[in-house]
Amino acid sequence: MKNQVTLLIVEDEVLLRESLEESLARQGHVVRGVGTLAEARKELRDFNPEVALCDIRLPDGRGLDLIEEARAVAPDTIFIFMTAQAAIEQAVEAMRKGAFAYLAKPVRVPEIQTWLDRAVEKRRKDRPLEGVTETPVEFLGESAAARTVRDMIEKLAGAPTTVLILGETGTGKDLAARLLHLKSGRKGRFVPVNASGLGETLLESELFGHEKGAFTGATARKIGLVEAASEGTLFLDEIADMGAALQARLLRLLDSGQVRRVGGTREIPVDVRFIAATNRDLEAEVSSGRFREDLFFRLSKFVLRIPPLRERKEDVRFLATHFGRLHSRRLGRPFQTLTEAAAEYLESLSWPGNVRELSGAMERALILADPERDAGLLDVKHFIVEEGRSETPASIEEAMEAFVCKSEALPFKEAKRRIVDLFEERYLRFMLEKAHGNISEVSRRVGLDRKRLGEKIKKFGLKTGGIL
C-alpha cells in the first residue's frame, strides 16, 4: 500500500460502514466508524483523523455541515463525501465548502484508496513538517548545553529504541520528542498523549482502544492511539502520573510489541516508537513504590535530559529574539529589538517557568509596547517579570497597572475589551498547550461548552489538532 492514513468513516448504513471499516483496515489504515453527526463530532475532536469519508445524508443532519465545524477542532482533516443521490448542486456545495472529493455510491475500495493516496499527497504539500506547528526544525540555542541536546537528538532519532526525556516544566520536552520523530524517517504519525490529562479508565480506552460492548457506552469498536501511531511515534507525556494497572499494560506492550483492545481477545502487532517524558525524579518515584522499577529500566535505555533555562543563560538573548519575531508575526505587530539593558535584565532572571515563561514574557512585552513611541525598542520597563515570582498575584497586578497606563487614551469599554481578550487568548492557549490540543479535555478543565470554546479558538486563531 502506498500510504497509510487515520480514517474516520461517517455512514449510517451499518452493513456498508462495517464492510468499509474491515476492508480499509486490511489495507493498513487506522479506521474508526460512526453512524451519526453527533458521534462524528466527538471523533473529530478526540481522534483527529487525517481523512473523513462521510455520507452526506445522516439521521441527525447533513454531513456537509461537518466541514465548517471541523475547522475549530480538526482543521487539517480532509473530507471526502459519498452519496447515493448524486446531484450537481450538492457536488458544487461540497466543493465550495472545502470538500476534497465527492463520490457517488456504490463506492469501491480501490476507488477510495486512490482518493486516500491523493489526500495524503495534498497534506504533505500543504504541511511539509507533518505534526509540527510553529515548531523549529532544531532545538534552539547557542550554548554548549543546547548543542549537547541537539547532538543527542541526532544520534537517537534514527534508532528504534525507547527514549525517556527528563526536564522541568517548560524546558521543551515536547519539542524534543517531536524532533526525534521528525528526524527519525518514520512515515507514521506523531501521537502525543498526556498521561495526567485523563482518568485511568478513559486513558486505557484511549491508548488501547476497545471492542464494541466492552463496557457500558461502548457502542462501536474504537481504535486506540497505540494503533493510530503505527509506523510512527507515540509520545507519553507526564508518564509518572500513569497508574499501576496501566504501567503493567504498557510494560507488556513494550516487551511484546502487541496491543489488545479493551474487551478483546486478539493480540494486534504494532510498529510504534515510544518516547516518554516527565518533570519528576523517576528514580525517586521508583524508590517510593509509585512507579514500576521494571518499566523504568525499560523506558530509560536512553535518557535525554533537557536543561533548565537558568543553566543556559547564554541562550536567553537568542531565544528572546526568536520568540519576539514569532509573536510579532502572529500578533501582526512590528518586530521590536531588545535594548542592551533589557537583554541583560532577562539574562539576570532565573526563569522558573523556563523557555515557556520567556516566550510569554516576550509576547506580553510586545503587546504592552508602543512601537512608535518606543522607537521600535523593547526596554526593561516592558518586562513585568520578577525574580522567582513571575506567576504571583503581585506580578499580575503590576501587569494590569502597566496595561492601564498604556490604555489611558482609550474609552473604558475598549480598554476592558482588550484586556479581557488578552486574558482569554493567553489562558486558552496555555490550556490547549497543556492538553496537547485536546478540545474536549480543555472544555472539561475550563468549564466552557465545546461550541463556545470552539468560537473562542477561532476568534483568537489558536492552534489545535492534537490527537487527544
Closest to 120 in 3D by CA, of 63, 49, 170, 66:
49
What's residue 43's pLDDT?
83
The residue with cell 537583554 is 343
Residue 93 C-alpha cell reads as: 456545495
Q: Which residues pair with 169 in a beta bridge?
A: none
Which H helix or E strand runs over 346? helix 340-348
Instruction: For 156-224, give the DSSP string.
Output: HHT--S-EEEE--TTSSHHHHHHHHHHTTT--S-EEEEETTSS-HHHHHHHHH-B-TTSSTT--S-B--
Tell me if 262 sits within 8 A of 205, measured CB to CB: yes
State the DSSP H helix or E strand holding residue 238, giving kind and residue range, or none if neither.
Answer: none
CA nearest to 31, candidates 23, 21, 39: 21
CATH top-level class for 396-460?
A: mainly alpha
Radius of gyration of the chain (CA): 24
Contact 164, 177 (CB under 8 A): no
The set of cell numbers assigned to 49 is 483523523
The length of the chain, given as a count of residues: 468
Q: What are phi and psi of 196, to 5 degrees?
A: -95, -10
How is residue 79 written as a grid cell? 473530507
- The beta-strand segments (E) located in 6-50 are 6-10, 30-34
The Cα 282–Cα 278 span in angstroms is 8
Measuring CA to CA, how many Å separate 346 from each of 186, 337, 352, 354, 394? 39, 13, 13, 12, 19
- Nearest to 220, CA basis, from 19, 39, 59, 63: 39
Architecture of domain 6-126: 3-Layer(aba) Sandwich (3.40)
| Helix (H) or strand (E) segment spanning residue 231 | none
How many CB atoms are closer than 10 A to CB 91?
18
108: left (phi over 0), alpha (psi -120 to 50) or beta: beta
Q: pLDDT tens, position by position, for the chain (468 residues)?
A: 456 788 899 999 988 898 898 888 888 788 889 999 988 988 887 777 889 999 988 888 888 888 877 876 677 789 998 877 655 566 667 776 778 888 888 888 888 998 898 887 776 555 433 333 445 668 999 899 999 999 999 999 988 899 999 999 999 999 999 999 999 989 888 988 888 766 677 788 888 888 887 777 777 778 888 988 888 999 999 999 899 999 999 999 999 999 988 888 889 999 999 999 999 999 999 999 999 999 999 999 999 999 999 999 999 999 998 898 888 877 777 778 888 888 998 998 889 889 999 998 898 888 888 777 777 788 888 885 444 444 333 345 545 655 565 555 567 777 777 778 778 887 888 788 777 777 877 887 788 887 888 888 877 777 665 433
pTM for the model stands at 0.60
* Alpha-carbon distance values, 128 to 19, 233, 243 (Å): 33, 17, 37
CA separation for the pair 276, 237 (Å, rounded):
6
Question: Quick check: 380 and 344 in contact, CB under 8 A?
Answer: no
pLDDT at position 298 is 94
Please state which CATH class domain 310-382 belongs to.
Answer: mainly alpha
Cα gap 230→88, rounded to integer Å: 39
Cell match 482609550: residue? 410
In the chain, what are the domain boundaries?
6-126, 146-305, 310-382, 396-460
d(CA 154, CA 91): 47
The pLDDT score that the predictor gives to residue 454 is 81
Cα–Cα distance measured from residue 179 to residue 150, given in angstroms and rounded to the nearest whole number: 9
Task: Name beta bridge partners: 193.
Answer: 236
- What distance in Å separates the CA atoms of residue 106 and residue 16, rounded to the nearest whole number? 10
Q: For the beta carbon of residue 409, count every other beta carbon within 10 angstroms.
A: 7
Q: For residue 462, is it left (φ>0), alpha (ψ between -120 and 50) or beta?
A: beta
Do residues 344 and 314 make contact, with C-beta atoms less than 8 angstroms apart?
no
Name 245's Cβ contacts closer than 8 Å, sequence gap at least 6: 200, 204
Q: Apex CA 83: angle with CA 80 and CA 86, to 5°?
A: 110
| DSSP result, 402-435 | HHHHHTTTS-HHHHHHHHHHHHHHHHHHHHHHHT
146-305: which CATH topology? Rossmann fold (3.40.50)
* Pairwise CA distance, residues 361 & 309, whole Å: 14
Q: Is 396-460 the same fold as 6-126?
A: no
